[in-house]
């Protein structure tokens, strides 16, 4: 992990760009951090530059709550090399949508599954690097982005202890099975009128999650219209769960 730039934002938050091998990323740490800060991984749909205004707003809010926040570029996103398999599927998806044809499960699988397969190990490597920094310590939360990446991370990455997920409908059927294996606390946001989403699919996915603690928060409006109160509630969910004392495995007294 190489830091490539560093700046202080006007609220004192330290923003550092980094590369992890070929993957660009950004780390934000609170202005004053007396102790190592818990970390929130900020998911996004790909394209760090395009997403920067929303990402930095979420990072500032996390920093105000005492958390570090970090993100990395997705495979094929932003300045990273195109991801041919996914590009092809995305083109077919757009063609189907424009033609008013149904989006087949096969297209969704080819769009999402390779992205999950490639992105999840990258996020785990980023987590290794970030947690090795002295200014960061667990626990770790995950927030937003491609929901299938969030599901897979929640299943395979034990260092993630709570997640905020944005319900989207292009979810491979196999991810419903993975959803049943998720056990961490979940806060799921659903935009009730999201034109790109199938509401019933989102409700079914929420139902499938295996977590004993999960909540669904549906708000009016389209894809990017999450209201301020709803964003605040999602932040409070992470604050709550990342501020709990760590559960130390019971050690036998004998």
**Which residues lie near a second copy (CB under 8 A)?**
192, 203, 206-207, 211-220, 227, 229-230, 232-233, 236-237, 240
Q: Which is nearer to a second copy, 76 or 144 (CB)?
A: 144
Cβ-based neighbour number of residue 118 at 10 Å: 16
C-alpha–C-alpha distance, residues 75 and 80, integer Å: 7
CA distance 9 to 16: 10
CB 62 to a second copy: min, Å? 18
Q: What's the min distance (Å) between Cβ of 197 and a second copy?
A: 14
Q: Which is nearer to a second copy, 3 or 192 (CB)?
A: 192
Q: Given the complex with a second copy, which of 174 and 239 has the nearer CB atom?
A: 239
Q: 128 or 207: whose CB is closer to a second copy?
A: 207
CB of 231 to a second copy, least distance (A): 12
Placement of tokens 């495995």 in the chain: 249
**152 vs 217, beta carbon nearer a second copy:** 217
CB of 225 to a second copy, least distance (A): 11
Long-range contacts of 209-213 (CB under 8 A, 24+ apart): 209/179, 209/180, 209/182, 210/179, 210/180, 210/181, 210/182, 210/183, 211/182, 211/183, 211/184, 211/185, 211/186, 212/183, 213/185, 213/186
CB of 223 to a second copy, least distance (A): 16
CB of 33 or CB of 208, closer to a second copy: 208
Shortest distance, position 215 Cβ to a second copy, whole Å: 5
Residues 95, 103: Cα–Cα separation, whole Å: 9
Q: List b or e across 75-88, with b for residues whose CB sees 16 or more CB atoms inside 10 angstroms.
A: bbbbebeebebbee
Q: Taking each helix axis as running N to C, give the angle between helix 173-180 and helix 147-156, from 0 to 180 degrees, rounded to the nearest 10.
A: 40
Q: Compute the distance between CA of residue 228 and CA of residue 86 in angstroms, rounded to an integer.
A: 33
């Amino acid at each position: 992990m190489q830091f490539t730039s560093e700046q202080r934002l006007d609220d004192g938050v330290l923003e550092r760009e980094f590369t992890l091998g070929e993957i660009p990323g950004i780390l934000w740490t609170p202005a004053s951090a007396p102790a190592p800060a818990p970390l929130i991984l900020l998911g996004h749909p790909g394209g760090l530059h395009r997403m920067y205004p929303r990402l930095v707003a979420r990072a500032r809010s996390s920093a105000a709550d005492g958390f570090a926040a970090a993100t990395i570029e997705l495979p094929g996103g932003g300045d990273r090399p195109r991801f041919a398999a996914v590009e092809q599927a995305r083109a077919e998806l757009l063609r189907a949508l424009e033609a008013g044809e149904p989006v087949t499960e096969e297209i969704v699988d080819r769009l999402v599954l390779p992205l999950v397969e490639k992105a999840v190990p990258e996020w785990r490597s980023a987590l290794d690097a970030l947690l090795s920094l002295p200014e960061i310590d667990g626990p770790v939360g995950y927030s937003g982005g491609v929901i299938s990446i969030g599901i897979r991370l929640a299943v395979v990455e034990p260092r993630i202890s709570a997640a905020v997920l944005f319900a989207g409908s292009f979810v491979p059927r196999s991810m419903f099975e993975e959803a049943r294996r998720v056990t961490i606390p979940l806060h799921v946001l659903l935009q009730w009128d999201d034109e790109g989403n199938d509401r019933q699919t989102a409700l079914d996915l929420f139902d499938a999650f295996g977590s004993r603690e999960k909540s669904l928060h549906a708000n009016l409006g389209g894809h990017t219209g999450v209201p301020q109160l709803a964003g605040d509630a999602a932040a409070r969910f992470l604050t709550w769960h990342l501020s709990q004392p760590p559960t130390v495995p019971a050690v036998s007294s004998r």
